[in-house]
Every structure is written in structure tokens, then in C-alpha cells.
A and B are shown apart, each in its own frame.
Chain A
Amino acid sequence: DTAVSQTPKYLVTQMGNDKSIKCEQNLGHDTMYWYKQDSKKFLKIMFSYNNKELIINETVPNRFSPKSPDKAHLNLHINSLELGDSAVYFCASSQERQGRTATIYFGEGSWLTVV
């Protein structure tokens, strides 16, 4: 069973379109994340949710809107896509322990290409 699964794996779309990426985790974790990895492989946190509540929003444009219907799901909707949004988007989850983030489990990534 896949621990953190996200769909779609590949997405090619035109500038200006709106797209969504879905994520689900079956690990029972309380915390979920979206990370963005650019072409230089730099991994940057975008959002984190704990028990469906937004905890971290790292100065991400308003065009990006995460939604967590329950603690096992965290979806990412992107409006008005721009060329610079092309990247790999990783969903992840973890279980907080004593105030620190424990091991993070990543999904396989969604490769977004905006043309």
C-alpha cells in the first residue's frame, strides 16, 4: 500500500489554466505538507496542515490554495498558472513528536509543466 499518494503524476497545461493536485496519506499522520522542488532540485515548503488546520503558509502566491477536507487528504489548487509554476510538487506527511517534526514521508511527486 502506498503511504502517501498523489495524483496526477504528470501534468502538462497551458498558461492561465487552473489545475488541482490531490494527495492522500494512509499513515494516520496528523500533519501534511506541500513542497515545491524547482529545476535546481531545491526543496521548499509551501504549506503545512495539522489536523486540517493551516499552520504554515510560506509566502506562496494567492493563486495557490490548499484544501484539507480531513487529516488524511491535502489537495492543492492552482489558479492562473504561470510558466514559473513549472516544478515538481511533493505532498508529504509526518507525525509531530514533542514539538519537532519527525520523519517526513513524501509522495512520488507531481510533475507540472506549464507551456
Chain B
Amino acid sequence: GQSLEQPSEVTAVEGAIVQINCTYQTSGFYGLSWYQQHDGGAPTFLSYNALDGLEETGRFSSFLSRSDSYGYLLLQELQMKDSASYFCAVSPQGSSYKLIFGSGTRLLVRP
């Protein structure tokens, strides 16, 4: 089976850098994705790591280490609009046609 654990809540100051961790237990997966969801909105895709290492997309970066069963999302130059929930997700090998989502991390950015 698969399970992905994230901290439930993280608070940071505007302009700062924050890291949201995702640890997982899974028998195998194609890659690790990250999604953002604002209150009342739909989850939207942020980033995908097929291979170990760092992927950078503007202010957001995502990292994967399969040997450590660990990944993270790094948000730089935090803005108030970054206050949202962030979910890591995996596409399991042998179980195509679905994404398994983590428990989600609520990020609160303070002025």
C-alpha cells in the first residue's frame, strides 16, 4: 500500500522561505507531485519529480530522494497569496490511473 505523511500546519512570515516535507511508504511509484489548494478552490498542479533531485519552477522548488523515501516542497519569497494547503501525491507503479494524495499541509503566511 501507499501512505504519505505531511505536517498538518506550517506558519511562516511574508518574504521568508518555507519547506514542506513529505515522507512516504510505498512499494513503488513513478514520481512525486505537489498540488496547491486555496480554501474553497480546486487542487492545482505545482511540480513533479520523476527523478531524485531538485526541480525548480519560479519561486517553488521540489525535491525527491527515493533512497530516503522523502520529498519536500520549497517556497521562496513567500507571499500572502501562498497561504493555502499543499499536498504531495504519488502515482503508484502497477496502479495506473490514479494519484494517491498525502494528508496535506496548511501553510499560513503572516505579514
Residue interface mask A24-51, B partner, CB < 8 A = 1 = 0000000101000000011111001010
Flag if A48 contacts B85 (CB, 8 Å): no
Chain B facing A: main interface SS: strand
Residues on A with beta carbons closer than 8 Å to the beta carbon of B98: 33, 45, 48, 56, 58, 101
Q: Which of A58, A96, A101 has the most CB of B within 10 A?
A: A101
Contacting residues of chain B (70-111) with chain A, CB-CB under 8 angstroms = 85, 87, 91, 93, 95-101, 103-104, 106
Decide if A55 touches B42 in the complex (CB within 8 Å). Answer: no
CA of A41 to CA of B106 in the docked complex: distance in angstroms? Answer: 10
- Residues of chain B with a CB closer than 8 A to A99's CB: 30, 93, 96
Chain A CB within 8 A of B41 CB: yes
Interface residues of B (CB under 8 A from A): 30-31, 33, 35, 37, 41-45, 48, 85, 87, 91, 93, 95-101, 103-104, 106
Contact surface of A with B, Cβ cutoff 8 Å: 31, 33, 41-45, 48, 50, 55-56, 58, 90, 96, 99-101, 103-109
